[in-house]
Amino acid sequence: MTNFDAIVEHIQQITGHVFKEFNHSAISGGGINAAYHLSNQGHAYFVKLNTPDREAMFEAEAQGLNELAAMQCLRIPNVICFGQTPQHSYLVLEYIPCQSFDTSSSRLFGEQLAQLHQVEQPFFGWHIDNTIGSTPQYNPREHDWLHFWQQHRLQQQLTFLQQNGYGKQLQDKGQHLIESLPAFFEGYQAKPSLLHGDLWSGNAATDPNGKPIIYDPACYYGDRETDIAMTELFGGFSPAFYESYDANFPLDPGYSTRKILYNLYHILNHVNLFGGSYVNQADNMLDQLLAKT
């Protein structure tokens, strides 16, 4: 059974609120972390837990949330604290009751995400490394997006595939794709935007007032098309979201091909995390991309 006493003490130190006689209830949905709603009559918090060695993962997530919040484009859960106990590492956020998007909030989400992406950042990468799921994600500073995507996204996932014992076929196709990557960027110049980095439908919602919220980021500075591609990967968002985004920040015609390339990174990561059917999905995506080179 989880002991929340040390976490509650940390919350009290940071907030100055006396947080006694609290209740906790598990929240389902996360595949990497355990999540809880921690509350009493006056305050409520969202707590994520993992093993003690994962504190750096939560620190990077907290920094991503804080940087997204500083942009003042979308609602971001406030970071309360993060830390480590003998049993767990933890991240504590404000608790926001979440609701599904309707047409109006979907349009607002498209508009606000376009605002976030239009702020050009100074380089590709980020100031620290972080994780995508629980997989290390390396974010060295680069000024060449093609090289960044080749080496620090696709090549890194191929290295993990080899370490995890996945077949030579995926690795060979992936290496061939990496060598052919310039073909996908002819006539297109990516600019660095602050990315959520893991923007599927499970990491976005609205608050009770219909204000869009994003959370569980894997931030870095990169091509904004990668965020939009990820929104299409697991079910996608409503047409109103895409229409609004494109009206505020139109996508390049080559996006329809590059989105497969960008989503390949996430599917390769799912192979490394979960295996199973993702192996065939990655293989099919590689075939689609190689057919275009």
DSSP string for 178-219: HHHGGGGGTT----EEEE-S--SGGGEEE-TTS-EEE-S---
Q: CATH for 5-94, among 3.30.200.20, 3.40.50.1980, 3.30.1330.40, 3.40.50.11900?
A: 3.30.200.20
Choose the catalytic residue: 102, 129, 144, 198. Answer: 198
198 flagged as catalytic: yes
| C-alpha to C-alpha distance for 75 and 158, rounded to whole angstroms | 35
Q: What does the pLDDT look like over 231-267, one tens digit per residue? A: 999 888 999 999 999 999 999 999 999 999 999 999 9
Instruction: Give the global pTM.
Output: 0.95
Q: What is the average per-residue pLDDT within 113-126? A: 98
Point out the least confidently predicted range of 13-17, 21-25, 75-79, 217-221.
21-25
Q: Does residue 92 surpass a pLDDT of 80?
A: yes
Q: 32 pLDDT band (50/70/90 cuts)? A: confident
CATH topology match: 5-94 vs 103-290: no
Measured in whole angstroms, the distance separating CA 165 from the mean position of its chain's CA atoms is: 26
Q: What does the pLDDT look like over 206-221, one tens digit per residue? A: 999 999 999 999 999 9
Residue 132 host element (H or E)? strand 130-132
C-alpha distances (whole Å) from 233 to each of 134, 226, 237 are 19, 11, 10
Q: What does the pLDDT look like over 63-74, one tens digit per residue? A: 999 999 999 999
The pLDDT score that the predictor gives to residue 257 is: 95
Q: How many CB atoms lie within 10 A of CB 279?
A: 19
Q: Say what the alpha-carbon torsion angle 284, 288, 289, 293 is, to the nearest 10 degrees.
A: 140
Q: Where are the domains of the chain?
A: 5-94, 103-290
Question: Quick one: fold of 103-290?
Answer: Aminoglycoside 3'-phosphotransferase; Chain: A, domain 2 (3.90.1200)
